């Protein structure tokens, strides 16, 4: 179908194909061109051949020299003259990917001078921001155009930076975990009281058994039931509240919750991660144990049939937290002399810079999908409210609350893309935005993903309204999982985008998780996929958001806010898009982006061999 | 050279028909045609030329039925009751709110009055009413608008908008655009009128111009109607404020907004009326009724119409009836034309694109333009069909009706991108009539829905576009007009083989819808009119102010139109 003038501008470099019969002597305009978005379908059905077609930019304003029927490409010899590709073609250079995808690099605007040439047209309005016109020259060379636009914005205002709050993390090293008479920490040895399991079980009616074992690196080839959560062991010091003050954390040890029902059905039976740990855990993901970590594994058995209902998994988490809480109490007693490392996080507001919010969609469908928000202790249970009970409405948190474990995650099926509690503790997107001095990072908005469509739109409208009230210029929307939750994920992007706010989406998509819905605001997407075949491979944490994704999303958003455009995705998932973007970013920033390993670095399980073969 | 042969054949057939016409008695004609009832495949041109014009007597099969709602507005309120004697031209119902007066079209006795209609029994054998009888309008001749209003005239092109109301809007120094496009194929009564009543029609245009204070009259006719154009130009001799505008033979050039666009170069928005271009658009028959009302005091009690299709004696041609009394039943008109020839599919009231199926007992109204009897429908045995609905042709309900008559199962309904429903009442209008916005996506959607057939109601240009993708996708294309065109031996609507612009020489004094990029004479700006909507000119000698500096330090550059614009920003 014919396209709008605005749309034609966006597709200035796409082939020009007539949507309808046009007679010789017709001066071509956007009214005459078929929508490039359907070319792939037309080509694959044999209706269209694009060979030799000039671009829309070259065809606009030219006069046809012969009468052509619909779906004929405009060739050089069909027009009087090939037009110079017209004006504001601030073309983004990186190729994009599939139904969702990514692009981070941009071209730079020539410094000092703005030239606009319009071949021919009607009703053209140009608005040129004085910041861009005046300040672009001052921006650093070599940086992306996004960065240039942002820093020039800063030049325009004289606003000062302000540290809103600070979070200090004290790290304590653990080299050994043993069972003992009482729970305590001596030097670098953690003792867990024998018999604590029974007490933990006794607190929860639905939990019938809890087995605790200590798994060190040499024992990673151990069978495990599906992994329900990986949690840091951390506690607040003194009167500090979550998200500020001092937090104590044990290094090299994590809590690992696993479980089944009494009759052995996995909690989240379809798409679960049971199997040998060394074959099913993507070590080192923000969400996962690091290779070498000592795993304090709890294996719970819950009442039959409760594996797919909210109370079952929640009871498992509550029982397991009884043990963690006792370790937290021991951690509180430690002397500062045992601190091996201190980290300090400042939450800085930068008035005058482009204000940005991070919207994190978390699962809230109920069943085994839930998240406990804002417990008293990092990744604790006490004091927190399940987002399902909060009706999944947006909750604004400070970046430091996120990094201090304000989300206790109850994830299950689709383990490769789900963000476990540990993910938030070291969320790469939060860290990237927190440390980006070119923007004003306003906060993190958590929004649940409800089960019912009407509720999905209810919450996404609140997300839009929250962003509007925060007056942000840009937003990044992340999600975990794929499919059902993409309905609200895309609706969040629409609600934000329709308010004139630039928005970048992040999700696992690739081959298996291509977006099921779409709207015109989904123009910038970062794919979190790491798997070789582009699938949900049930390797814990494999396709979750990593630093390499965060840097792309940040740069993409800054480019958008500076007025750059993102190239449209290719029809099929193409992993080269990401590698090209990463290369471009490395070249422009001078800092190489190191890519994380994927499942191919793990011994291949029988289960995965089958999956991989199917995906091929 | 095949085309030349065809033309020769057409001329032969025409000669035959003219011979038949010469026969005096109607009966004789019937006989003659019966004996030569061979089906000859004719092209469109020939069908239109094979026109029989008739002013004749009608037999009635029962009461005359005068619907209380003859056009736009609420039903009229009757002012006669059962048993009343009425004479032809007598006022029998008045409008409540928007509407038009209703007069009896016969002498007779009221037999029944319902919420929907007045039934009148007439003992006389009805004849075509002719121009002059009856003279019952009381308004004075010099109060022209009052005459029109009292006469109960409505838009006779099919819209049925009360003409008295339309003409009460002044278009000072503007345009009266006379719609003589007759863009529905097969219909021929408008063209016949232009030849038979050319002087009366021109007088009617002058009356309409006087009422609305318009300065110019433009008569829009398709270029192909050479004979009719000649007749009009002859009648226009010495007249300077009316000229003829020529249109290409494309459907739907007669759509109201298309007429404005073609004649004045202004494309109206779907919710704009022609008054936005300082113009009114009025059907050519309506113009004639205005003339009759003012000149003779004659109310609107009759209608010109075209009968075609499976009718005995019509032989793939058409029959034009002048002044058929309103309220006569469809079957009486068909009988007068020769009667239905064997089995038939449906009877269409109106033209092939916009007409609706009707029953034999339905009455003729003030907006009835055609009666077409079609061949029986083919049976597609439940084939899956996707509908592509267009604002310029059959609507969704009509397409579903046709699909069910073809025994097709509807699996998808798509609307043309340009079909807009501005009032939300299910009445669609095309954003740019006759200029296709592309249909490939719609065809793909229909294919994806599992259809093997596509049934469309599109205009010439959009149909051509559908042909560019649907067959390639493996969809069998059907047009809502196929069964009608096939009945009368016309080529079905598919690929567009002619230009959307008027080409070649045009008679002196005429304007034409030329390709704007061509340098051929007669483009719409070549006739200069002082004032009005056309002829916008720009003075390029003065410097054009395009830059504004706002107090907030913003610079706005606004370029309304132009070419090779360069804006340079330098430090």
At residue A134 the predicted structure's pLDDT band, cuts being 50, 70 and 90, is very low
Decide if B473 and A45 are in contact by the 8 Å CB cutoff: yes
Listed in sequence order, the residues at least 6 apart from B486 whose beta carbon sits closer than 8 Å to its beta carbon are B375, B492
Q: Look at B437 and A105; give whichever has higher pLDDT.
A: B437
The span from the CA of A478 to the CA of A418, in Å, is: 11
Least confident of A126-130, A523-527, B392-396, B525-529: B525-529
The span from the CA of A463 to the CA of A477, in Å, is: 10
Decide if B555 and A112 are in contact by the 8 Å CB cutoff: no
Give B 343-362 residues with CB within 8 A of chain A.
none
Decide if B499 and A21 are in contact by the 8 Å CB cutoff: no
**Statement: residue A153 has pLDDT above 60:** no
**Statement: residue A112 has pLDDT above 60:** no
Decide if A38 and B441 are in contact by the 8 Å CB cutoff: yes
Decide if B565 and A122 are in contact by the 8 Å CB cutoff: no
DSSP B422-465: TTSSS--EESSTTS----HHHHHHHHHTT-SEEEE---HHHHHH
| ipTM, 2 dp | 0.75
Least confident of A119-123, A289-293, B458-462: A119-123
Least confident of A468-477, B149-158, B528-537: B528-537
Decide if B469 and A42 are in contact by the 8 Å CB cutoff: yes
Which of A47, A60, A61 should one mutate to test binding to chain B, selecting the residue with the greatest count of B CBs within 10 A? Answer: A47
Q: How far is A496 from chain B (nearest CA, A)?
A: 26
Tell me if residue A78 is catalytic.
Answer: no
Decide if A126 and B556 are in contact by the 8 Å CB cutoff: yes
Asked if B438 is an interface residue toward chain A (Cβ–Cβ < 8 A), one would say yes
Structure-block tokens of residue A98? 């599939």
pLDDT digits (tens, 9 = 90+) for A387-417: 999 999 999 999 999 999 999 999 867 789 9
Decide if A23 and B501 are in contact by the 8 Å CB cutoff: yes
pLDDT at residue B28, rounded to an integer: 40
**Statement: residue A590 has pLDDT above 90:** no
Query: Given phi > 0 = left and psi -120 to 50 = alpha, else beta, which region is A366?
Result: left
Question: Looking at residues B306-321, what average pLDDT do you find?
Answer: 89
Task: Give the helix/strand (H/E) hosting B476.
Answer: strand B476-479
Instruction: Report percent pLDDT > 70 for chain A.
Output: 86
Enumerate the β-bridge partners of residue B62.
Answer: none
For domain A1-89, give the CATH number.
3.90.1210.10
Give B 388-417 residues with CB within 8 A of chain A.
417
Q: Look at B33 and A187; give whichever has higher pLDDT.
A: A187
Q: Can you tell me which residue has the tokens 């012969």? A: A66
3-state secondary structure of B391: coil
Chain B positions touching A123 (Cβ under 8 A) are 560-561
The span from the CA of B274 to the CA of B161, in Å, is: 14
Domain range annotation of chain B: 137-297+507-529, 383-487
Q: How far is A23 from chain B (nearest CA, A)?
A: 7
Question: Looking at residues B432-460, what average pLDDT do you find?
Answer: 93
At residue B128 the predicted structure's pLDDT band, cuts being 50, 70 and 90, is low
At residue A136 the predicted structure's pLDDT band, cuts being 50, 70 and 90, is very low
pLDDT digits (tens, 9 = 90+) for B57-92: 777 778 899 999 999 999 999 999 999 999 999 999
pLDDT at residue B525, rounded to an integer: 55
Write down the number of H helices and E strands in chain A.
16, 21
For A216, phi then psi, to 5°, come to: -100, 170
pLDDT at residue A537, rounded to an integer: 85
Least confident of A511-515, B72-76, B458-462: A511-515
Chain B positions touching A113 (Cβ under 8 A) are 568-571
Q: What is the largest CA-CA distance in chain B?
A: 94
Which of A489, A484, A355, A371 is CA-nearest to residue A423?
A371
Q: How far is A73 from chain B (nearest CA, A)?
A: 13
Enumerate the β-bridge partners of residue B247.
Answer: B222
User: How many other C-beta atoms are found inside a 10 Å radius of the C-beta of residue A161?
Assistant: 13
pLDDT digits (tens, 9 = 90+) for A456-494: 999 999 999 999 999 999 999 999 988 889 999 999 999
Chain B positions touching A31 (Cβ under 8 A) are 435, 437
Listed in sequence order, the residues at least 6 apart from B460 whose beta carbon sits closer than 8 Å to its beta carbon are B250, B251, B434, B493, B496
The domains spanning B137-297+507-529 and B383-487 adopt the same CATH topology: yes
Query: Given phi > 0 = left and psi -120 to 50 = alpha, else beta, which region is B11?
Result: alpha
Q: How far is B296 from chain A (nearest CA, A)?
A: 49
Q: How far is A104 from chain B (nearest CA, A)?
A: 28
pLDDT digits (tens, 9 = 90+) for B239-289: 999 999 999 999 999 999 999 999 999 999 998 999 999 999 999 999 999
Q: Kindly tell me the burial class for residue B418, based on how many C-beta atoms sit within 10 Å of its own C-beta (0-12, 13-18, 19 or more).
A: buried
pLDDT at residue B129, rounded to an integer: 63
At residue B571 the predicted structure's pLDDT band, cuts being 50, 70 and 90, is very low
pLDDT at residue A129, rounded to an integer: 54
3-state secondary structure of B505: coil
Decide if A47 and B570 are in contact by the 8 Å CB cutoff: no
At residue B497 the predicted structure's pLDDT band, cuts being 50, 70 and 90, is confident
- Per the CB < 8 A criterion, the answer to whether A77 and A55 are in contact is no
Which of B468, B496, B517 should one mutate to test binding to chain A, selecting the residue with the greatest count of A CBs within 10 A? Answer: B468
At residue B557 the predicted structure's pLDDT band, cuts being 50, 70 and 90, is low
Of A25, A123, A125, the CB nearest to B517: A25
Decide if B561 and A117 are in contact by the 8 Å CB cutoff: no
Q: How far is A566 from chain B (nearest CA, A)?
A: 24
**Statement: residue A159 has pLDDT above 70:** no
The span from the CA of B237 to the CA of B217, in Å, is: 14
**Statement: residue A434 has pLDDT above 50:** yes
pLDDT digits (tens, 9 = 90+) for A11-49: 888 999 999 999 888 889 998 999 998 888 888 888 888
Q: What is the largest CA-CA distance in chain A?
A: 94
Question: Looking at residues B453-475, what average pLDDT do you find?
Answer: 93
Decide if A2 and B437 are in contact by the 8 Å CB cutoff: yes
Q: Can you tell me which residue has the tokens 């996707």? A: B386
Question: Looking at residues A221-248, what average pLDDT do you find?
Answer: 95
pLDDT at residue B7, rounded to an integer: 42
Chain A positions touching B441 (Cβ under 8 A) are 1, 35, 38
Chain B positions touching A61 (Cβ under 8 A) are 563
Of B517, B562, B570, the CB nearest to A26: B517
The span from the CA of A16 to the CA of A36, in Å, is: 8
Mean pLDDT, rounded, of chain B = 84
Question: Looking at residues B496-504, what average pLDDT do you find?
Answer: 89
The span from the CA of A391 to the CA of A91, in Å, is: 42
pLDDT at residue B331, rounded to an integer: 94
Asked if B544 is an interface residue toward chain A (Cβ–Cβ < 8 A), one would say no
Decide if B473 and A47 are in contact by the 8 Å CB cutoff: yes
Asked if B468 is an interface residue toward chain A (Cβ–Cβ < 8 A), one would say yes
Asked if B557 is an interface residue toward chain A (Cβ–Cβ < 8 A), one would say yes
The span from the CA of A529 to the CA of A512, in Å, is: 10
Decide if B557 and A2 are in contact by the 8 Å CB cutoff: no
pLDDT at residue A125, rounded to an integer: 61
Q: What is the dihedral of CA A45, A46, A47, A52, to 10 degrees?
A: 130
| Chain A with chain B: Cβ pairs closer than 8 A | 149
**Statement: residue B56 has pLDDT above 50:** yes
Asked if B568 is an interface residue toward chain A (Cβ–Cβ < 8 A), one would say yes
Mean pLDDT, rounded, of chain A = 86
Instruction: Report percent pLDDT > 90 for chain B.
Output: 68
Enumerate the β-bridge partners of residue B109.
Answer: B85, B121
The span from the CA of B124 to the CA of B126, in Å, is: 6
pLDDT at residue B53, rounded to an integer: 62
Asked if B549 is an interface residue toward chain A (Cβ–Cβ < 8 A), one would say no
- Per the CB < 8 A criterion, the answer to whether A444 and A399 are in contact is yes
Chain A positions touching B499 (Cβ under 8 A) are 23
pLDDT digits (tens, 9 = 90+) for B194-246: 999 999 999 999 999 999 999 999 999 999 999 999 999 999 999 999 999 99
**Statement: residue B508 has pLDDT above 90:** no
Pairing relation of β-strands A114-128 and A176-180? unpaired
Question: Looking at residues B104-125, what average pLDDT do you find?
Answer: 90
Of B461, B472, B516, the CB nearest to A20: B461
pLDDT at residue A43, rounded to an integer: 87
> Which stretch, A141-155, A505-519, B297-311, has highest mean pLDDT?
B297-311
pLDDT digits (tens, 9 = 90+) for A555-583: 999 999 999 888 878 778 888 888 888 88
In total, chain B counts a number of residues equal to 571
Domain range annotation of chain A: 1-89, 168-340
Torsion sign across C-alpha atoms B343, B349, B352, B355: negative
pLDDT at residue B310, rounded to an integer: 94
pLDDT at residue B165, rounded to an integer: 95
Enumerate the β-bridge partners of residue B121.
Answer: B109
Q: How far is B250 from chain A (nearest CA, A)?
A: 14
Of B435, B469, B501, the CB nearest to A70: B469
pLDDT at residue B544, rounded to an integer: 45
**Would you state the CATH architecture of domain B137-297+507-529?**
3-Layer(aba) Sandwich (3.40)
Asked if B419 is an interface residue toward chain A (Cβ–Cβ < 8 A), one would say no
The span from the CA of B510 to the CA of A94, in Å, is: 57
Give B 263-282 residues with CB within 8 A of chain A.
none
Chain A positions touching B461 (Cβ under 8 A) are 20-21
pLDDT at residue B127, rounded to an integer: 65
At residue B147 the predicted structure's pLDDT band, cuts being 50, 70 and 90, is very high
pLDDT at residue A359, rounded to an integer: 97
CA B42 to chain centre: 23
**Statement: residue B403 has pLDDT above 60:** yes
**Statement: residue B32 has pLDDT above 50:** no
Give B 476-535 residues with CB within 8 A of chain A.
496, 499-501, 515-518
Instruction: Report percent pLDDT > 70 for chain B.
Output: 80
Q: How far is B514 from chain A (nearest CA, A)?
A: 11
Structure-block tokens of residue A58? 């070259």
Rg (CA), chain A: 27
Which of A420, A378, A383 is CA-nearest to residue A401?
A378
Query: Given phi > 0 = left and psi -120 to 50 = alpha, else beta, which region is B186?
Result: left
- Per the CB < 8 A criterion, the answer to whether A599 and A532 are in contact is yes
Q: How far is CA B105 from each of CA B294, B297, B364, B429, rounded to the nearest angstrom?
A: 18, 15, 11, 34
**Statement: residue B183 has pLDDT above 50:** yes
pLDDT digits (tens, 9 = 90+) for A437-446: 999 999 999 9
Which of B6, B72, B111 is CA-nearest to residue B491?
B6
3-state secondary structure of B542: coil
Write down the catalytic residue from A78, A288, A412, A467. A412
CATH of B383-487, one of 3.40.50.10700, 3.30.350.10, 3.30.1330.10, 3.30.1120.130: 3.40.50.10700
SS3 sequence of A537-556: CCCECCCCCCHHHHHHHHHH
pLDDT at residue A89, rounded to an integer: 37
Chain B residue nearest residue A130, CA to CA: B554
Chain B residue nearest residue A2, CA to CA: B437
């Amino acid at each position: 179908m014919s396209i709008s003038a605005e749309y034609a501008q966006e597709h200035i470099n796409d082939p020009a194909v007539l949507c309808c019969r046009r007679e010789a002597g017709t001066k071509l305009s956007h009214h005459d061109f078929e929508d490039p978005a359907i070319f792939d379908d037309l080509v694959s059905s044999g209706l269209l051949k694009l060979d030799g077609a000039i671009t829309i930019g070259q065809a606009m304003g030219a006069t046809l020299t012969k009468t052509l029927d619909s779906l004929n490409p405009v060739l050089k010899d069909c027009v009087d003259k090939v037009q110079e590709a017209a004006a504001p073609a601030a073309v983004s250079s990186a190729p994009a990917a599939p139904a969702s995808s990514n692009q981070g690099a941009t071209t730079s605007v020539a410094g000092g001078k703005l030239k606009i040439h319009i071949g021919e047209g009607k009703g053209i309005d140009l608005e040129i921001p004085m910041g861009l016109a005046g300040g672009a020259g001052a921006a650093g060379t070599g940086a992306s155009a996004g960065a240039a636009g942002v820093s020039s914005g800063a030049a325009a205002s004289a606003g000062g930076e302000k540290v809103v709050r600070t979070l200090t993390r004290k790290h304590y090293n653990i080299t050994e975990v043993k069972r003992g008479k009482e729970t305590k920490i001596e030097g670098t040895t953690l003792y867990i009281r024998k018999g604590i399991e029974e007490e933990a079980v006794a607190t929860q009616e639905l939990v019938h058994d809890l087995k605790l074992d200590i798994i060190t690196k040499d024992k990673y080839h151990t069978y495990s039931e599906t992994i329900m959560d990986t949690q840091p062991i951390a506690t607040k010091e003194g009167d500090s509240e979550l998200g500020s003050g001092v937090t104590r954390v044990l290094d090299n040890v994590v809590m690992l919750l696993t479980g089944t029902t009494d009759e052995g059905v996995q909690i989240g039976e379809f798409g679960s991660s049971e199997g040998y740990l060394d074959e099913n855990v993507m070590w080192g993901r923000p969400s996962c144990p690091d290779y070498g970590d000592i795993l304090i594994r709890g294996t719970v058995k819950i009442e039959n049939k409760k594996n797919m209902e909210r109370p079952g998994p929640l009871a498992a988490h509550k029982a397991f937290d009884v043990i963690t809480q006792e370790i937290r109490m021991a951690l509180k007693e430690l002397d500062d002399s045992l601190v091996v490392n201190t980290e300090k996080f400042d939450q800085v507001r930068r008035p005058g810079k482009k204000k940005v919010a991070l919207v994190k969609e978390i699962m809230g469908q109920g069943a085994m999908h839930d998240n406990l928000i804002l417990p008293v202790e990092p990744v604790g249970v006490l004091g927190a409210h399940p987002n399902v009970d909060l009706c999944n409405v947006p909750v604004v948190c400070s970046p430091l609350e996120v990094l201090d474990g304000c989300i206790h995650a109850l994830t299950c099926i689709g383990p490769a893309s789900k963000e476990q509690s540990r993910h938030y503790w070291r969320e790469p997107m939060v860290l990237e935005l927190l440390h980006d001095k070119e923007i004003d990072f306003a906060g993190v908005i958590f929004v649940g993903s409800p089960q019912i469509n009407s509720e999905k739109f209810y919450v996404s409208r609140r997300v839009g309204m929250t962003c509007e009230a925060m007056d942000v210029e840009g937003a990044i929307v992340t999600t975990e999982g794929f499919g059902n939750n993409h309905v609200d994920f895309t609706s969040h992007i629409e609600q934000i985008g329709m308010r004139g706010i630039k928005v970048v989406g992040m999700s696992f998509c690739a081959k298996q998780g291509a977006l099921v819905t779409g709207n015109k605001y989904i123009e910038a997407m970062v794919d979190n996929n790491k798997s070789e075949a582009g699938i949900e491979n049930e390797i814990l944490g494999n396709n979750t958001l990593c630093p390499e994704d965060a840097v792309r999303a940040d740069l993409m958003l800054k480019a958008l806010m500076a007025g750059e455009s993102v190239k449209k995705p290719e029809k099929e998932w193409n992993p080269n898009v990401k590698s090209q973007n990463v290369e471009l970013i490395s070249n422009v920033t001078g800092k190489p982006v190191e890519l994380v390993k994927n499942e191919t670095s793990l011994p291949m399980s029988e289960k995965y061999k089958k999956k991989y073969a199917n995906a091929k | 050279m095949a085309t030349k042969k065809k033309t020769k054949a057409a001329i032969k057939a025409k000669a035959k028909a003219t011979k038949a016409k010469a026969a005096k008695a109607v009966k004789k004609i019937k006989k003659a045609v019966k004996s030569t009832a061979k089906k000859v495949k004719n092209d469109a041109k020939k069908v239109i030329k094979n026109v029989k014009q008739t002013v004749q007597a009608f037999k009635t099969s029962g009461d005359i039925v005068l619907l209380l709602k003859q056009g736009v507005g609420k039903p009229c309120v009757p002012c006669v009751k059962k048993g009343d004697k009425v004479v032809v031209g007598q006022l029998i119902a008045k409008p409540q709110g928007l509407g038009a007066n209703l007069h009896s079209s016969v002498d007779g006795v009221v037999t029944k009055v319902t919420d929907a209609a007045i039934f009148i029994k007439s003992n006389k054998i009805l004849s075509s009413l002719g121009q002059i009888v009856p003279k019952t309008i009381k308004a004075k001749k010099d109060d022209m608008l009052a005459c029109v209003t009292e006469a109960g005239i409505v838009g006779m092109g099919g819209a049925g908008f009360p003409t008295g109301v339309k003409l009460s809007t002044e278009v000072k120094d503007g345009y009266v655009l006379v719609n003589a496009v007759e863009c529905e194929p097969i219909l021929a009564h408008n063209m016949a009128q232009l030849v038979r009543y050319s002087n009366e029609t021109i007088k009617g245009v002058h009356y309409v111009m006087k009422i609305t204070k318009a300065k110019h009259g433009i008569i829009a006719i398709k270029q192909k109607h050479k004979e009719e154009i000649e007749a009009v130009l002859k009648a226009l001799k010495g007249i300077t404020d009316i000229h003829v505008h020529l249109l290409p033979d494309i459907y739907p050039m007669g759509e109201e907004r298309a007429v404005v666009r073609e004649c004045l170069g202004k494309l109206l928005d779907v919710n704009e009326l022609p008054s936005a271009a300082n113009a009114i658009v009025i059907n050519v028959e309506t113009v004639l009724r205005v003339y009759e009302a003012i000149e003779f005091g004659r109310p609107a009690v009759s209608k010109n119409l075209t009968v075609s299709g499976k009718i005995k004696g019509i032989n793939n041609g058409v029959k034009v009836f002048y002044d058929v009394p309103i309220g006569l039943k469809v079957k009486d008109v068909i009988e007068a034309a020769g009667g239905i020839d064997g089995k038939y599919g449906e009877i269409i009231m109106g033209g092939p694109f916009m007409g609706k199926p009707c029953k034999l007992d339905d009455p003729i109204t003030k907006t009835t333009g055609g009666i077409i009897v079609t061949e029986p429908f083919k049976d597609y045995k439940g084939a899956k069909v996707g509908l592509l609905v267009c604002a310029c042709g059959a609507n969704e309900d009509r397409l579903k009706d046709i699909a069910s008559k073809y025994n097709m199962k509807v699996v998808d309904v798509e609307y043309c991108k340009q079909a807009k429903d501005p009032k939300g009442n299910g009445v669609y209008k095309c954003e740019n009539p006759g200029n296709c916005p592309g249909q490939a996506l719609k065809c793909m959607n229909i294919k994806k829905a599992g259809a093997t057939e596509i049934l469309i109601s599109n205009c010439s240009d959009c149909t051509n576009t559908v042909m560019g993708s649907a067959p390639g996708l493996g969809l069998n294309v059907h047009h809502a007009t196929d069964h009608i065109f096939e009945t009368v031996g016309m080529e079905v609507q598919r690929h567009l083989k002619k230009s959307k612009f008027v080409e070649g020489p045009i008679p002196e004094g005429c304007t034409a819808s030329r390709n704007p990029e061509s340098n051929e004479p007669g483009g719409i700006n070549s006739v200069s009119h002082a004032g009005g909507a056309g002829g916008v000119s720009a003075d390029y000698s003065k410097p054009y102010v395009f830059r504004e500096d706002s107090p907030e330090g913003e610079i706005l550059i606004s370029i309304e139109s132009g070419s090779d614009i360069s804006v340079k920003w330098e430090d």
